[in-house]
Amino acid sequence: MNSTLFTNWLYEFDKMIQKQKRQIFLFLDNAPVHPPDIKLKNIAIKFFPANTTAVIQPMDQGIIRTFNAYCRKHLVQHIIANVNGAYSSDYVVITVLYTVCWIDSAWKFITETILRNTFKEAGLDNAVVSPDSILIQTTFTNENSVEQENKCLHELDNILKHLTIDDDFISAADFVSADEDVPVFYQLNDASEKRLAVDGIANDDIPNGNDLDIEQPPSLS
Cβ-Cβ contacts under 8 Å for 98 (sequence gap 6 or more): 78
Question: Which contiguous run of DSSP H or E holds residue 108?
Answer: helix 96-108
Q: How far apart are CA 68 and CA 175, in angstroms?
A: 9
Residue 8: predicted pLDDT: 94
Residue 203: predicted pLDDT: 46
Residue 35: predicted pLDDT: 87
| Residue numbers in the chain where pLDDT is lower than 50 | 127-141, 189-190, 192-194, 196-199, 201-212, 214, 217-221
Beta strands in the chain (DSSP E): 24-28, 43-47, 196-197, 200-201
Domain positions in the chain are 54-186
Residue 219: predicted pLDDT: 46
Residue 37: predicted pLDDT: 87
Residue 14: predicted pLDDT: 96
pTM beyond cutoff 0.85: no
Residue 60: predicted pLDDT: 74
Residue 187: predicted pLDDT: 52
